[in-house]
Chains A and B, each alone.
Chain A
Amino acid sequence: MSLIEFFRGKAAKEDRFTALVRPHLRLMHRMAYRWTQERADAEDLVQDVLTRLFPRVDELAAVEKLGPWLIKVLYRRYVDLYRRRANSPIDETAPCVSDDQFFQERLEDGHNHYQQLELQRLLNRALFTLDESWRDVVLLHDVEGYTALEVAEILDINVGTVKSRLHRARKKLRSVLEPGTVEVFAAC
């Protein structure tokens, strides 16, 4: 082993990794929550991704826009885990959005706008009635504010597909906000 190899110690690698990913951890958690709808699952997913990324610290350092890149890795891992669950003998095909407690806490807070939160709860549940491919686009573009180009890169699809899925998804979601559709989404 050369002296140069001696010099690049483990501590330096850990510090470099931490410096690179730490600014993006909350964003990763929020995006993981958007997909999993569970705080604990979101944390586990982020941790899993970080564990896998640590050996690739040099690759991370070379990434120009690390935020979207990390979200892409997170998304792929989410899909892998989801598919693995879907292939398990346990039937988890029925989507169940467990946002009740989260929204309830916020609704009970007098400082929040009740009507807006109710509509957002409806929309959140409606999102999980959409086709996954549509939902992914809405979550990234409309909820998190990524550009169509970034969404295309994260999901590995072309921009035209992003726009068409977005258009269809929005059309369906708008129907949720119309009077008379509230009851449909009121229960999980």
Chain B
Amino acid sequence: MMNCCQARRELDLMQRENNSVLLKHLHRCGECREYAEELRLVNLLRTMPAPQPSEYFEERVLKAALPKRSSAVHGSVRKWQLATAASVLFAVIAALPQWQSSAPTVETAMMQAAISQALPVRVSVDAARAMEGAVISVSLPEHLALEGYGDQRELSWRTNLSAGANRLTLPVRARSGQRNEILIRIEHEGARKEFYVPVDLPAGAELPANNDAASTPQTI
């Protein structure tokens, strides 16, 4: 004869087939009948179906929820195009080498600058993992300056890098049309990586009178 303990174990294990000994026990034991009914209910609830979201659900809701990245990019490109048309002195898009997997990778660097006014030089650093307390140093050549930092050539600061894209924007002012390179160094827990962001000026661009000559951006 089956006892309640055995009956409940059988109920927990039971898939589809009815066990005749178990059924006999349930017939005479009200408590186990209650248990069996509750188990049936919970099993039905636990497997209650729900429809899958429609196609591209994740992409759609994220795109709608996040600030309009596409329009921001468009705006930036538009501004860049307008600036080019107005004879911006240089605009460089440089593809830089990747780091080893444990260190950040420099994906792309987009720079915009002008002699007459400071324009943002944007560098996107793609870190493979979050890096707390990374030290970022920037070394500027003689012919470049950072808006608001006077003649300071060396700048260094500590920050946390997030996993993924991190954007550095430097308000660069160029003082001549020579080829320049900004050295950016990132240090984290003893590891160190340096890379140069080239900034090319078209010939004669350093002369305000010749600004109209540089009508197209250069790509390196």
Contact = CB atoms under 8 A, between A and B. Distances in A.
Interface string B95-138: 00000000000000000000000000000100000000000101
Contact of B46 (A17, A143, A177): A143
A34 B45 CA distance: 12
Contacts of B41: 123, 142, 170, 173-174, 177
A18 B66 CA distance: 9
Interface in B160-174: 162-170
Interface residues of B, number: 43
B69 to A, nearest CB: 6
Contact of B166 (A12, A53, A143): A12
Contact of A33 (B42, B50, B167): B50
A142 B61 contact: no
Given A4-B157, A19-B163, A46 B47 contact: no
A11 B163 CA distance: 12
* Overall SS of chain B's interface: mixed
Interface residues on A, range: 35 or more
A177 B37 contact: yes
B51 interface: yes
A39 B66 CA distance: 21
A3 B155 contact: yes
Contact of A106 (B49, B61, B64, B168): B49
A2 interface: yes
A47 B54 CA distance: 13
A50 B61 contact: yes
A158 to B, nearest CB: 22
B168 A54 contact: no
Contacts of A47: 60-61, 64-65
Given A7-B136, A50-B62, A15 B164 contact: yes
B61 A46 contact: yes
Interface string A65-87: 00000000000000000000000
Contacts of B165: 9, 11-12, 15
Contacts of A15: 162, 164-165
Contact of B164 (A16, A29, A43): A16
B148 to A, nearest CB: 9
Given A7-B168, A119-B44, A39 B51 contact: yes
A123 B45 contact: yes
A145 B46 contact: yes
B157 A170 contact: no
Contacts of B51: 33, 39, 102
A116 B44 contact: yes
A142 to B, nearest CB: 4
B45 A11 contact: no
Contact of B65 (A50, A119, A173): A50
Given A119-B44, A120-B47, A174-B37, 20 more contacts: A2-B157, A3-B170, A4-B159, A8-B167, A9-B166, A9-B168, A10-B72, A11-B69, A11-B165, A16-B164, A17-B66, A18-B66, A25-B53, A26-B52, A30-B50, A43-B57, A54-B65, A106-B49, A143-B48, A170-B42
Interface of B: 37-38, 40-42, 44-54, 57-58, 60-62, 64-67, 69, 72, 124, 136, 138, 155, 157-159, 162-170
30 contacts: A3-B155, A3-B157, A7-B166, A7-B168, A9-B168, A14-B67, A14-B69, A15-B162, A15-B164, A18-B66, A19-B163, A19-B164, A26-B58, A30-B50, A33-B51, A42-B53, A43-B53, A43-B57, A47-B60, A50-B61, A50-B65, A54-B66, A106-B49, A116-B47, A120-B44, A138-B45, A142-B41, A145-B46, A170-B42, A177-B44
Closest 9 CB pairs of A and B: A9-B167, A50-B65, A15-B164, A142-B45, A47-B61, A51-B65, A6-B169, A29-B53, A11-B165
